[in-house]
Structure 1
Amino acid sequence: MTALAHSFADASAPDLAKLEPATLHHQVAQFLYLEARLADTHDYDGWEALWTGDAIYWVPANGDDTDPEKEMSVLYDNRSRIGVRIRQLKTGRRHTQTPRSELARVISNIEIAEVRGPEVDVRANVLIYEDNLRGDTLWAARNTYRLRMTDDGFRLVRKKICLVNNNKPIYTLSFLV
């Protein structure tokens, strides 16, 4: 249990709005850095453990304000599909990831957008450097997250990755973004 989660251990639904803004921002940033490190180092089990049961992992195509139920997305995974994606990556038979990409991401401009009880909506910019046999690729994105405080600390409820160039063909996106 994280220190922040421990401080809410006796509450049935912690109210994150009661935290000092700097404390909340710091804890959110630490969680986003952890999620990035797990993805970059291909720690698939650790990354998958960060998600709630009602999670959505979404990469829109052709704009930021699309409706994933009516329009095409690069990815639109519920919790079950996140698990399938992880199992596929762990097989070692993803040919676009043989050998797997070396990844490093930078997260910046972290903003707390809204706090509702145990959940917080967050915006951040992300730059992912990918090195593989095809060469080097930079992926720039504007991410939005919904995090929920649980007994084990923050967990991802929703992650929306709006690639800056999502209006162009994306030849392969076979790693965790």
Structure 2
Amino acid sequence: MDSIYAQVCRFIYLEADLMDEHRFDEWLALWSDELLYWVPCNEDDIDPNRHVSLIYDNRTALEDRLARLQSPSAHSQIPRSRLRRVISNLVVNEQQDGSLLASSNFLLAESRHHRKNIFAGKNLHTLSRENGAFKIKQKKVLLIDNDDYINNLSFIV
């Protein structure tokens, strides 16, 4: 039997692969119905109800975002960004409610129109088990330069 750590590690790697390959339907299937996908702006611990966030999506907003990215009229992704991310320093802790908090660092490289962009930060995944499988309840992406100018994020970070 695999350890919880090994199971979470494989799950986080799977999620990264699905994002890099623009496999949005499969990526969305990793999420629970009640979800929060949050990328803060300016500070890591802002109140998202009082300050601007780069992304602050519930399920409906995330489904809309993915539909726009997959639309033939999504000019911001023609051609699609070529993406690769490296995940490291994974730490998994069980929470009092039985969920798991998985913290990991990432480095994301984007290539598009002969330009390269590098994004780095920390992912905080809150995972639950539903029907024996992990589901993402919440994902908070802490970009190290979230207080600097960030060009349009026209892909899933």
TM-score calculated relative to the size of structure 2: 0.95
Following superposition, the deviation at residue 90 of structure 1 comes to: 1.1
Match of 1:43 among 23, 36, 41: 23
CA 1:70/1:46 → structure 2, altered by over 3 Å: closer, same or farther? same
Taking the TM superposition and a 5 Å limit, the aligned residue runs for 1:70-109 are 70-109=50-89
Q: What percent identity do the matched residue pairs reach?
A: 38
Number of equivalenced pairs: 157
Match of 2:124 among 138, 144, 160: 144
What are the superposed Cα offsets for residues 115-167 of structure 1, whole Å, 9 maximum, x if unpaired? 34541011100111100016000100111110011115101100000100000
RMSD: 1.5
Following superposition, the deviation at residue 95 of structure 1 comes to: 1.7
Q: Distance in 2 between matches of 1:54 and 1:165?
A: 28
CA 1:163/1:134 → structure 2, altered by over 3 Å: closer, same or farther? farther
1:118/1:149 contact within 8 Å kept: no
Amino acid of the residue matched to residue 27 of structure 2?
Answer: W
Match of 2:107 among 127, 148, 151: 127
Q: Secondary structure at the match of 1:34?
A: helix
**Higher CA-based Rg:** 1
| Structure 2 stretches lacking a partner, 5+ long | none
Q: Which has the higher contact order (CA 8 A, sep 6+)?
A: 1
CA 1:152/1:98 → structure 2, altered by over 3 Å: closer, same or farther? farther
Q: Secondary structure at the match of 1:137?
A: strand
TM-score calculated relative to the size of structure 1: 0.84
| Structure 1 stretches lacking a partner, 5+ long | 5-21
